[in-house]
Amino acid sequence: MADALALNALLYLPIAATLALALVPSRREGAAKWISLVATTAQLGLGCLLYARFDPAVAGLQFATDVPWIAAWGVRYHVGLDGLNLLLVLLTVFLGPLVVLGSFCAIRAQKRLFHAMVLLVQFAMLGAFVAQDLFLFFVFWEAMVVPMFFIIGIWAASGAFTPPSSSSSTPRSAASSCSRP
């Protein structure tokens, strides 16, 4: 049961962090990146814990939670890990802190909203990977569309995203380009 709790904590940690972002005052918008970094790093830690506890000799799902959700339709909240989706979950939680760290310099406008959208995308992606019910999978899959729409529409299309210059080919020069106003 504790392992199932760890998987659900991994899944819902971005939602808790998004709610924490909503409490950040607008004058302290820079704190959003640190909340996101802490949340995604905690997810990475939980993902590593689940990987360490995963037993490849056991057939079927591990860390599973299976409860009725919409009983009239036969829909269940059924999540769990097997060998394949464990790797997808690990990849997702590994990339989360990297995305947040990369945004420290690249995102200049509406930082709090950006980090909330990144966390919601991570929640929906992880949910789609661990869902074992087709309806639940569809809900998570469609939940990815809304934050991705905002990320693409606001930051990619409007120029609020500043990619590193082509001259920043070394980590030192890339880090120095982060100090712009």
Q: DSSP letter string over 88-108?
A: HHHHHHHHHHHHHHHHHHHB-
User: pLDDT at position 27, please?
Assistant: 82
Share of the chain above pLDDT 70, in %: 86
User: pLDDT at position 129, please?
Assistant: 97
Least Cα distance to 126 among 85, 98, 97 occurs for 85
Domain assignment of residue 178, yes or no = no
Least Cα distance to 118 among 17, 23, 7 occurs for 17
180 pLDDT above the threshold of 80: no
Q: How many domains does the chain have?
A: 1
Domain assignment of residue 176, yes or no = no
57-75: average pLDDT: 93
Q: How far is CA 3 from CA 53, 62, 75, 87, in A?
A: 8, 8, 23, 17
Measured CA angle at 115 (ends 110, 117), to 5 deg: 95
94 pLDDT above the threshold of 70: yes
Query: What's phi and psi for 63, nearest 5 deg?
Result: 60, 35
Domain assignment of residue 17, yes or no = yes
**Mean pLDDT of all residues in the chain?**
88
Domain assignment of residue 122, yes or no = yes
pTM of the model: 0.86
Helix (H, G, I), strand (E, B) or coil at 29: coil
Domain assignment of residue 173, yes or no = no
Structural domain boundaries, residue 144? 2-68+77-164
Domain assignment of residue 33, yes or no = yes
CA-based end-to-end distance of the chain: 49
Domain assignment of residue 22, yes or no = yes
98 pLDDT above the threshold of 60: yes
